[in-house]
Amino acid sequence: VSAAIAGILIIRADGRKRKESYQSLYLTPYIEKGKIEEARNLSRVKLFEDYIKAETNSGYITIDKWKRSYLFFTHIRALRDPETTPLLLWLQGGPGLSSLFGEFLEIGPLGIDATGKLFVRNTTLQQHVNVIYLDQPVGAGFSFTKGLLGYAHSLDDVASGVLVFLQQFLKMFPEYENREFYVGGESYGARFTVGVSHAIHSGKKPRPALRLRGVIMGAGFLGQLMRVADSSEFLYEMSMITKKGRKSFAQKFADMRQKVRSLFGKLAALLNLRRTIFTSKTNPTLFQKLTGYNNQASALYSEKPENMVRFEKYMQTDEFKRAVHVGKSVIFMKAEGKVATKLKDDYLTDISDKIEDLLQSYKVLFYTGQMDTLFPSRNLQDYFRSLNWTGAEEFRSKEPSHWKAYPTSRFVSGIVTMVGNMTEVVLLRAGHYVAVDEPDNASKMMLNFIEGTGTRWEGQDEEPDSIKA
């Protein structure tokens, strides 16, 4: 891809600012009146289509009229054979991050770089899969509710909202009825993925006319939180903290594990967790004090990567909001505020039984990042091996394979363990935001999983120019 096509500065060509008001596009009224063609035409996104040459739609679906709750989505058709390829619902984490994070920074066809330029991604899952990037629950990204009652308080609330969305989405895009369907997400989004997939599996209404085939969970907010998030050993082994620091970290987590055993101690444990492993601009956490890092995601970088910073700024511009049919008054939320607060009771809820149910009936991909400082890969690997399902014993004893994403790759891309419905991948050189650090390999990993044959992991496709070495 030439430089001229690969990137442009995110400014208007004539440099003029357009200050006039513009409104959000609410698609539910059109869907209810049967004005499907009008809804599809109004929701087209020229910005994306000019770059990636694939039909793109975006707008708002009303999931609760009384509570005035609206979910924002961006749907991009596959670049190849969109009429027959599977449909993937992508759910970002946070909780509260926009799924456009996944589109621009991870697996989508249109990216944004560290200088603020848009570019066409050479390797993308979108080449073979139709994708819905959904901002959920309400309050995440561009999605919103006009009353406090509209916020989700549990995983069931989140799943219910997504099912209502899917019901209307299929009326607007009936060509996807009975299509093979996958649900995927990272971090807290992996948790949302479990909730939505299990709701479909158990027949919760409204039942979408889709054939659920697989579930993708990346760097998941899964298992016992106070064990999965205990990074004391990992940080020490990475030389990010001293022996004294390791002892302080380990003691904090031991105290938190003790507190969560009682109802009254759970809130205190969550507050301590926030002060221990996350980051704050005003009150540095223990992680910041001991490591000097102001970004809690990867051992590879101590500050938030510049492409993430540029992404957040671009989302808030009139230029972009107008392009994707988001009203001028809508505030772009970044995994903060009411979404996280309202879901606090879900953080410590064990959903292992739901994951075990899914493993019995569908393909499941668990992937982690080798350099993840938030949920260290080894902790999640231990959790995966604690699950009980028909292939559990074989999975626990199975020796992993070294995987190269492409036959001409010089370096190992990841460590793969496959047994029955379970595929586990540790992506090398990647932190918590796995696909941000290794977008080409992450896309190839997901495509291998979706296409579903063991030979796909042998790297038989031609390697893209972007990662040849």
* Residue pLDDT, tens place only, 38-70: 999 999 999 999 999 999 999 999 999 999 999
Architecture field, domain 3-223+306-337+347-467? 3-Layer(aba) Sandwich (3.40)
pLDDT at 333: 85
DSSP 111: E
Distance separating alpha carbons of residues 75 and 90, to the nearest angstrom: 10
Distance separating alpha carbons of residues 58 and 437, to the nearest angstrom: 27
270-284, 287-301, 311-325, 449-463 — which is least confidently predicted?
449-463
pLDDT of 9 higher than 50: no
pLDDT, tens only, 229-240:
999 999 999 999
Q: How far is CA 42 from CA 36, 49, 452, in A?
A: 10, 14, 36
pLDDT, tens only, 195-206:
999 999 999 999
pLDDT of 281 higher than 90: no
- Distance from chain centroid for Cα 31: 27
Better pLDDT: 97 or 16: 97
pLDDT of 5 higher than 70: no
Count Cβ atoms below 10 Å from residue 209 Cβ, excluding itself. Answer: 14
- HSE on the CB side for 431, CA within 13 Å? 18
pLDDT at 127: 87
Distance separating alpha carbons of residues 98 and 142, to the nearest angstrom: 7
Q: How far is CA 346 from CA 113, 189, 272, 341, 421, in A?
A: 34, 13, 17, 10, 27
Distance separating alpha carbons of residues 241 and 290, to the nearest angstrom: 6
As a whole-number percent, the residues of the chain with pLDDT over 70 amount to 92
User: What does residue 3 show for φ and ψ, rounded to 5 degrees?
Assistant: -60, -35
pLDDT at 458: 56
pLDDT at 340: 87
Domain boundaries, the chain: 3-223+306-337+347-467, 225-300
Are residues 78 and 85 in contact, defined by beta-carbon separation less than 8 angstroms? yes
pLDDT class for 456, splitting at 50, 70, 90?
low
Evaluate if pTM is beyond 0.95: no
Quick one: tokens of 293?
């890092």
pLDDT at 385: 97
pLDDT at 311: 96
Distance separating alpha carbons of residues 17 and 129, to the nearest angstrom: 36
Are residues 270 and 404 in contact, defined by beta-carbon separation less than 8 angstroms? no
DSSP string, 337-383: THHHHHTGGGTT---HHHHHHHHHHSEEEEEEETTBSSS-HHHHHHH
120-123 contact pairs (CB < 8 A, 24+): 120/1, 120/5, 120/6, 120/51, 120/52, 121/439, 122/1, 122/440, 122/464, 122/465, 122/466, 123/439, 123/440, 123/443, 123/444, 123/464, 123/466, 123/467
How do beta strands 144-145 and 69-76 pair? antiparallel
DSSP 285: -
pLDDT, tens only, 351-396:
999 999 999 999 999 999 999 999 999 999 999 999 999 999 999 9
pLDDT, tens only, 99-131:
999 999 999 999 999 999 999 998 898 889 999
Among 463, 401, 389, 396, residue whose Cα is nearest residue 426: 401
User: What does residue 85 show for φ and ψ, rounded to 5 degrees?
Assistant: -75, 160
* Residues 6+ away with beta carbon under 8 Å from 122: 1, 440, 464, 465, 466
pLDDT averaged over every residue in the chain: 90
